[in-house]
Amino acid sequence: MTMPGKPKLFVTRKLTQDVEDRIAAAYEAVFNEDDHIMSPAELVEKAQGCDGMLVTATEKNDASLIGALPGSVRIIATFSVGYDHIDVPAAEARGIAVTNTPDVLTDATADVALLLLLGAARGADWGERMVRDATWTSWAPTYPLGHDVTGRKLGILGMGRIGQAVAKRARGFNMQIHYHKRSRLPAELEQGAVFHDTLEGMLGQSEFLSINCASTPETRGLINAETIAMMPDGAVLVNTARGDIVDDDALIAAVESGKLAAAGLDVFAGEPAIDERYRSLKNTFLLPHIGSATLGTRSAMGMRAVDNLDAFFAGQTPGDLVTAG
């Protein structure tokens, strides 16, 4: 597509300075100076006359919002690998391209999965509280005790890029990797991990479970009372994917009963307005969705989103085009 002058781009959240500088040089940009989260009405208003939007997971691009966008908008580039906040079929129906930012956040997110795994298993949360609250009054051989990580079995739900990066790190702890996926990975990607063609088969082995799959209609609520019951008693669950893959009632009940020894969560359904019961739940290590939150990674995500926009406005197919199929 050839356009007179610079394309007009609406950037819904504040991005790192290097990314905003690049956008300012190449686009007629509408930035969000104070980084507030915009209502659907404000998003539609600011999108008027824009050729594209650079959005994040804080903007719910559902069918109603997409339907209300001006006809000038031809592309929605999301600053995230996940695109469950975008109704891709609705965008396609309006001829709007959608792109995401895979690869560049794989390592940072896998690092946080390991942080959660270790933090939950070894009681980093209660340990830190003891130090800060001055309730650490003496050392004892039998209190407080966490759970061994080294040599244990780790089930990975969603053995894609991030799941494989989690497996690579966990091998450093001599963990035995198990995974469930629709189709088995080739041996060079499997790296000795045990493939399970059923979720039940993998969960039965999962002394630790790392959730790394996308949130889709098939995976929403997949970890629930029934599937948690398939896990060994005293297992540890960590989630760096999306909160809605886990049923909160079931997870909280399992941690309270000891069915799960601990849980480490970086993502929550409805975040940041999380289920209030998590705030006082023991044996949990909780983080505020920081999987990709390093300066280097957030910069790379922004650059990747702009690469996609540049390609689109140069009339090429963006490298990270997302399709409904």
Q: Which of 105, 166, 231, 238 binds ligand 8YV (CB under 6 A)?
A: 105
- The stretch among 23-31, 79-87, 117-125, 227-235 that binds ligand 8YV (CB under 6 A) is 79-87
CB-nearer residue toward ligand 8YV: 80 or 99: 80
Q: How far is the CB of 82 from ligand 8YV (least distance, A)?
A: 3
List the catalytic residue out of 180, 242, 298, 304: 242
CB-nearer residue toward ligand 8YV: 77 or 203: 77
Phi, psi of 145 (to 5 degrees): -120, 135
Distance CA 117, CA 92 (A): 38
Binding mask 22-61 for ligand 8YV (x = CB under 6 A): ----------------------------------xx----
Assign 3-class secondary structure to 74-98. Answer: CEEEECCCCCCCECHHHHHHCCCEE
Cβ partners under 8 Å of residue 148, min gap 6: 121
Distance CA 266, CA 183 (A): 27
200 is catalytic: no
Residue 287 as a binder of ligand 8YV (CB under 6 A): the answer is no
Residue 268 as a binder of ligand 8YV (CB under 6 A): the answer is no
For residue 38, give the H/E element and its range. none
Distance CA 264, CA 124 (A): 10
CB-nearer residue toward ligand 8YV: 290 or 311: 290
- Give strand ranges (E) for 32-121: 52-55, 75-78, 97-99
Q: Are 55 and 12 contacting, i.e. CB atoms less than 8 angstroms apart? A: yes
Work out whether strand 8-11 and strand 75-78 pair parallel, antiparallel, or are unpaired: unpaired
Using CB under 6 A, which residues numbered 110 to 139 contact ligand 8YV? none
Q: How far is the CB of 238 from ligand 8YV (least distance, A)?
A: 15
- The stretch among 27-35, 77-85, 126-134, 249-257 that binds ligand 8YV (CB under 6 A) is 77-85
What secondary structure letter does DSSP report for 39?
P
Residue 82 as a binder of ligand 8YV (CB under 6 A): the answer is yes
Q: Which of 61, 206, 219, 292 binds ligand 8YV (CB under 6 A)?
A: 292
Distance CA 47, CA 10 (A): 6
Q: Are 84 and 214 contacting, i.e. CB atoms less than 8 angstroms apart? A: yes
Q: How far is the CB of 159 from ligand 8YV (least distance, A)?
A: 17
147 is catalytic: no
Total of chain residues touching ligand 8YV, rule CB under 6 A? 9
Of 149, 210, 155, the closest CA to residue 179 belongs to 155
Binding site for ligand 8YV (CB under 6 A): 56-57, 79-82, 105, 291-292
The catalytic site residues sit at: 242, 271, 289
